Chain A
Amino acid sequence: MTAAGSYFKIGPARLFVHLAVLLIVIVWLIPTLGIFVSALRDKDQIVVSGWWTSFVGSTQTVAVRLGTPDQQKQEGAIYVISGNVLEGQGGRAVKAFGNRVQQPAAFKAGETADLGDGETLQINSDGSYRYMKGTAFSPDERPRRIYVSVSAPPEFTVQNYHTVLTGEGIGQSFINSLTVTIPATIIPILIAAFAAYALSWMEFPGRALLIALVVGLIVVPLQMSLIPLLRLYNEIGTMLGQPSKTYPGIWLAHTAFGMPLAIFLLRAYIAGLPREIIESARVDGASDFEIFTRIVLPLSFPALASFAIFQFLWVWNDLLVAMVFLGTDKDHLVLTGSLNALLGSRGGNWEILTASAFVTIVVPLLVFFGLQRYLVRGLLAGSVKGG
């Protein structure tokens, strides 16, 4: 089919939509790509140039030190220190060099430069050099610093990932994160599903008020309730002779923080289920519990799955609640906490931030793709709803 043919088949309006979607996807993907590329670059490179410059070779001017005076050899009347300025750096070539930082590329590679004081220096493009002097180099001289312009091919490294993945306690904190996240996802869904059913299909006085109250709780910022809640836990913990910062504590905290939104979302879905089904079940003599487990739960699986994704992502990415309710000691540190600790006291390590972003994203992606088919099924179920 020709391009023109496919154009007429698609139509201009649809083409516009496709292009718009493509544009949005690209705009959204660029930052991700930037993080991905930065994570593969050396930390010193990240600071000096943008990630988009990393795909082409570059010329860098760097300072290097020549050999120490104790490496000097006498060759006839002259003393020579020789070596290679590109030691251990394959694929690079020297283009120019200089001996003053103000003019770092004064001499072309292969030239013999007169450095004054009877000293001469020759650097070839392969990096080998000969530093010559008529008299012996004094042994207490510090190694001479010179400057070379080096052309370098594009370079990438997996060192950052290695640093992040082999960081101390990462494995333990991965397990800690799962220990926190899985119950903290399941418990609120269980409770919220019961509540949502009751709030949508069971008649009792004050129901509307209760719904309004629950919805109202969504706006309470969790930062505000951290200290009172932790104090409550501490007091109960002391009463029961238990330490205050435990896994059940953080499960309860996440459950409480997630509950208003969970009830709100699930109630909206469950209230929208066809009244006929529920009523005919009632007529057939089903109790509320039977209706809930046999009819409502299976029908609202898509809503449960989508809320599970929300809650899972939020708990997995959470740092604040975990730090407060679980503490900061090694045995309880969650993944976000221990990746954060890798940054050191003053932070600013872009290479670790970018690499750990990709490490933490793995589990949420698995969860998302794993539950995605339920979301699709949920959409389909919605399309025949009420039929």
Chain B
Amino acid sequence: MKKSFLMSVAVAALFAGAASAADLKFAPGQDSKFNWKSYDEFKAAHADLKGEPLTIFGPWRGEDEAFFLSVLAYFTEATGVDAKYSSSENYEQQIVIDTQAGSPPNIAVLPQPGLLADLAGKGFLTPLGDENSKWIKDNYGAGDSWVGYGTYKGKDGKESFYAFPYKADVKSLVWYVPENFEEAGYKIPTTMEELHALTDQIVKDGGVPWCIGLGSGGATGWPATDWVEDIMLRTQPPEAYDKWTTNDLKFTDPAVVAAIDEFGKFAKNEKYVNGGVAAVASTDFRDSPKGLFTVPPKCYLHHQASFIPSFFPEGTKLGQDADFFYMPTYASHPELGKPVLGAGTLVSITKDLKTARAFIDFLKTPIAHEVWMAQSSFLTPYKGVSTEAYANPQMKKEGEILTSATTFRFDGSDLMPGKIGAGAFWTGMVDFVGGKSAQDAAAEIQSAWDGIK
């Protein structure tokens, strides 16, 4: 942490100075794992923007901000645009305030398609045009799904493509410590049935299988929504999942209730979770993976998205000290293939400018992805990037899960209206873990959804 922090300070300090070739993280043209050709072509095509302004507002802060700035440096170097990035703790509220008050940034980056759809519906977003949606369709893994997550109804009721996906997270992962498995003689489960068996085996051996923590301040409960979504995708066809995110399939539907109950099999079993069921809702999601690394281990398995290694103890080497496996599918549902649950950030234009268009074009160059990939915490479904650029083999593995996905589905709670996906669903899951039955919790969420009109 300390080292990476100092590094991010250094990166930011470099960026604060005059932009020159020396500020770029990887010197153009040198390392062959990057697509420098794409960078040169972009540079040649956008030489007429020198000194023009561009403001970007996004969710990345701290370390992530430093990574993004290192990518942005290539854009400013190539075009000479005076680009400024800023963020805020409550970026969701901030962007709503700024667009409504009439002082939006040029580019807004948001991880919630639901919120973007809302902004598009009020006429605050500028359509990106068909050539961009076609490009995504052709160049991204599960491109159609991605286009769908960036297409919303505008103020006039017409559907257009508004948000360009850039940077993704894979959610369907289970983290473990390889040596804990080896020393206890456990094997990586390949089906959900095996995962259940492994869970029981660990209990029989006197261990605790799972670390589950739902705590996240005002967002407490969201890790549980990922569980339910993962199980939904593994027990129901993707169409049912899509209907679920638009309320065409009710929360009270037996399929959804069964998925919540399936999560309950793990989270509501006193012997399965570290600290007991009472600890599930009160443990912070950032602290809960630390149980994997204690000696003796407080747990053996942890279900979380690809970003979680940032919260592993300092010095943890991925692949050696910690690893992940794909959250397995049910042997009883072979027809569903290998669905992947993910999330991502979407780039949209909130105030149109030539420079904003140029930035969207920049995101289509492999280099805009590779520079971040080569540092940390960045996955992309873009098939045109050189996967050699991934900073470590684990990220490469995660990236391949994304590009080879047969079914990719966006985090359902981010697609639902804010009151549900960032409200009733979260609190409903906390109530469920706190003792409510799946039926009652689902009914409560559904009644909240029915209340929005």
Contact = CB atoms under 8 A, between A and B. Distances in A.
Interface stretch (A194-202, A226-234, A304-312, A366-374): A226-234
Interface in A166-207: 166-169
B320 interface: yes
Nearest to A230: B101
A63 B295 contact: yes
Given A101-B295, A244-B103, A345-B61, A227 B89 contact: no
Interface stretch (A10-18, A273-281, A320-328): A320-328
A348 B179 contact: no
Given A43-B1, A142-B320, A343-B61, A62 B295 contact: yes
B297 interface: yes
Given A168-B9, A230-B101, A343 B2 contact: no
A346 B389 CA distance: 25
B12 A168 contact: yes
Interface string B276-306: 0000000010110010011111000000000
A290 interface: no
B64 A344 contact: yes
Contacts of A341: 61-62, 65, 87, 89
Nearest to B91: A328
B59 A101 contact: no
B233 to A, nearest CB: 24
Contacts of A348: 284, 286-287, 311
Contacts, number: 119
Q: Which of B12, B57, B179, B284 has the most CB of A within 10 A?
A: B179
A172 to B, nearest CB: 10
Nearest to B206: A102
Contact of B63 (A226, A327, A330, A344): A344
Contact of B97 (A230, A319, A329, A330): A230
A61 B295 contact: yes
A163 interface: yes
A344 B286 contact: no
Given A327-B86, A328-B86, A330-B86, A44 B184 contact: no
B5 interface: yes
A110 interface: no
Contact of A101 (B88, B94, B183): B183
B313 interface: yes
B290 A101 contact: no
A257 to B, nearest CB: 16
A323 B62 contact: no
Contacts of B296: 61, 101-104
Contact of B307 (A159, A169, A226, A346): A346
Contact of B87 (A44, A324, A328): A328
Contacts of B101: 227, 230-231, 233-234
B102 interface: yes
B55 interface: yes
B13 interface: yes
Nearest to B315: A44
A323 B91 CA distance: 10
A230 B62 contact: no
A141 B64 CA distance: 34
B100 interface: yes
A328 B290 contact: no
Given A63-B295, A159-B2, A168-B12, A101 B179 contact: yes
Contacts of B269: none
B180 interface: yes
A47 B295 contact: no
Contact of A329 (B55, B183, B313): B55
A349 to B, nearest CB: 8
Contacts of B157: none
A337 B90 CA distance: 11
Contacts of A344: 61-64, 310
Interface in A327-347: 327-330, 333, 337, 340-347
Given A341-B62, A345-B59, A63 B217 contact: no
Interface in B35-72: 55, 57, 59-65
A111 interface: no
A347 B217 CA distance: 10
Contacts of A324: 94, 97
Nearest to A159: B2
A234 B101 CA distance: 7
Contacts of A103: 296
Contact of B183 (A100, A328, A330, A345): A100
B260 to A, nearest CB: 25
Question: What are the nearest 3 A-B pairs in CB distance?
Answer: A344-B62, A230-B101, A328-B86
Given A47-B287, A48-B290, A63-B293, 18 more contacts: A48-B294, A101-B179, A101-B180, A101-B296, A103-B296, A142-B320, A159-B2, A168-B13, A227-B100, A230-B101, A319-B89, A324-B94, A337-B88, A344-B63, A345-B59, A346-B286, A346-B307, A348-B286
Interface of B: 1-2, 5, 8-9, 12-13, 16, 55, 57, 59-65, 84, 86-90, 94, 97-98, 100-103, 179-180, 183-184, 205-207, 217, 284, 286-287, 290, 293-297, 307, 310-311, 313-314, 320-321
13 contacts: A103-B296, A159-B2, A166-B9, A167-B9, A168-B9, A169-B12, A227-B97, A227-B100, A230-B103, A341-B65, A341-B89, A345-B60, A347-B89
